[in-house]
Amino acid sequence: MTVKKFNLPDVGEGLTEAEVVAWKVKPGDTVAINDVLCEIETAKSLVELPSPFAGTVTELLVEEGITVEVGTAIIAVSDNQPGDAGPVTQAPASAPAADAPLYGKLPADTDNGENGPAGGPLVGSGPKADAVKRRARKRPAGTGEATTVAENAEGTVQDHQAVLAAQAAQAPVPHRPTSARAAVAPVTQAPEVTTSEGTAPGVSTAQTAASRGAAISGTISGLVNKVLAKPPVRKFARDLGIDLADVVATGQRGEVTREDLVSYQAQRDAELDQAESFWGASKKPQDQRIERVPVKGVRKATAKAMVESAFTAPHVSIFVDVDASRTMEFVKRLKVSRDFEGIKVSPLLILAKAVIWAAARNPSVNATWVENADGNGGAEIQIKHFMNLGIAAATPRGLMVPNIKDAQDLSLKELALALNDLATKARAGKTQPAEMQGGSLTITNIGALGIDTGTPIINPGEVAIIAFGTIKQKPWVLDGEVIPRWITTLGGSFDHRVVDGDLSARFMADVAAILEEPALLLD
């Protein structure tokens, strides 16, 4: 039996350490290549670590919550079952075990964040629930005329025995308005009924109904009260320990959506924060009432980056109030458009498009200041002819800024889909390190948290960041009259080494112009 040790890889292009957050296997478990071994938290994100070996887990070499350096052995895997004296079974040719797997990129994430843990509030927007799809299946042969049972996307299907029982009672099968319906063919022959004495052929319909009345009632009641939800949503609820029946459904057809679960979890966390007992027992000395939270992972990296940014790049901030009434009308029209059906649309989409448009008119805001670029102490400004648009996201692990690559090439619909995907991954903790690298300009949507405006700190490697405040109805003077309008405040911070007052003002004015009149995007 050969035992192989798996060393912690560098999953983030130069990261030096990571914390083992949670093991997904235990000693004695059999694993295949690419099975998830554990979750690790790097300085940039939470990452699932796949197995490079196939075999049996013999030992976990690092405990949960421990931070280790890249290259440290974290798990031991044997290539055959313990106690097996026979020859070692070779892995199939299509999936050979690798002694030294090539890491740099993890396998592509294919579930779009559907099964991850709930995150904190995303400074952005999430996806809208897809329309519930239905497919039909037929009743097994040999049970009379074929009965078609409709099954919706969440896998809910009427119990076959309940259908037979309802047929025996010569009554229609009840159904929920938003769930599956069963088309039941008439019964042409009384079915056999199994009793405690055996099988009694030809039992009358009335007797069958009477003997099964209670069971029918209970089964149909359970079907009627079944909560609608798709399989990924059901798994997400199980992972969170949430009973779907306790969640208020907001889906188009009465189904519970992922957003419903996130909202419910946030509310539940708020109710369980034990604020009344937060201050602790006053009889204890104060030095025993101090909670110490280690700074590590994303929080540690963010703190370091923000300090360097704040004290390296000379920040200048400006603000502008914007009448976003036409943006609100435009968003409302998009929501009912066929082209945007099933896509979450918010004013953030229009702001993102406005920032891309304004950056093309003021290129120096989409740049990087590089020290010692020539190796002789000189600096240079690198203006980027592409837009990797960052959207700041607040998560329990700290601030993350994933970005949308080449956002300038996306149509309005494609940009909306990209924002939805970014939001889903950030909430679920599925954002990969590569998705947070190479940003060129960032938006932080503090308005989603009810804040009017702020002075954000520039994301390292960039020279501009826009804070999008809440949109509220306020009195506004228009054509000499005071009328209620939808008003928001934009705040912008700029690296004064690259962006001077004139340039920052023109850029902010261009962004404001799009929010005031989205039709300018058609030019």
Q: Which residues are catalytic?
A: 496
| DSSP output for 111-176 | STTTTSPP-S--SS--PPPPPPPEEEEEPPTTSSS--EEEEETT-----HHHHHHHHHTT-PPP--
Cα 341 to Cα 107: distance, rounded to the nearest angstrom? 31
Give yes or no for a contact between 401 and 44, defined as CB atoms under 8 angstroms apart. no
Cα 122 to Cα 111: distance, rounded to the nearest angstrom? 19
Say which residues have a Cβ less than 8 Å from residue 39's Cβ, sequence separation at least 6: 20, 21, 22, 24, 46, 47, 48, 49
Query: Residues of 147-170 as b/e, b for ≥16 C-beta within 10 angstroms?
Result: bebbbbbbebbbeeebbbbbbbbe
Closest CA to 98 of 162, 36, 49, 34: 34
Give yes or no for a contact between 324 and 347, defined as CB atoms under 8 angstroms apart. yes
Residues facing 399 on adjacent strands = 394
Helix (H) or strand (E) holding 495, with range, is strand 481-495
The residue type of 513 is A
What CA–CA distances, in Å, run from 368 to 354, 365, 508?
20, 9, 19
Say which residues have a Cβ less than 8 Å from residue 328's Cβ, sequence separation at least 6: 347, 471, 486
Give yes or no for a contact between 143 and 440, defined as CB atoms under 8 angstroms apart. no
DSSP 40: E
Cα 252 to Cα 237: distance, rounded to the nearest angstrom? 19
Q: Classify the C-alpha dihedral 459-123-469-415 as positive or negative.
A: positive
Closest CA to 352 of 514, 461, 494, 493: 514
| Residues written for the chain | 523
What are all long-range contacts of 306-311, with beta carbons under 8 Å and residues at least 24 apart? 306/457, 308/460, 309/457, 309/458, 309/459, 309/460, 310/457
Residues facing 46 on adjacent strands = 41
Give yes or no for a contact between 31 and 75, defined as CB atoms under 8 angstroms apart. no
Query: Residues of 405-430 as b/e, b for ≥16 C-beta within 10 angstroms?
Result: bebbebebeebbbbbbbbbbbbbbbb
Question: CB burial class (10 A; 0-12, 13-18, 19+) of residue 96?
Answer: exposed
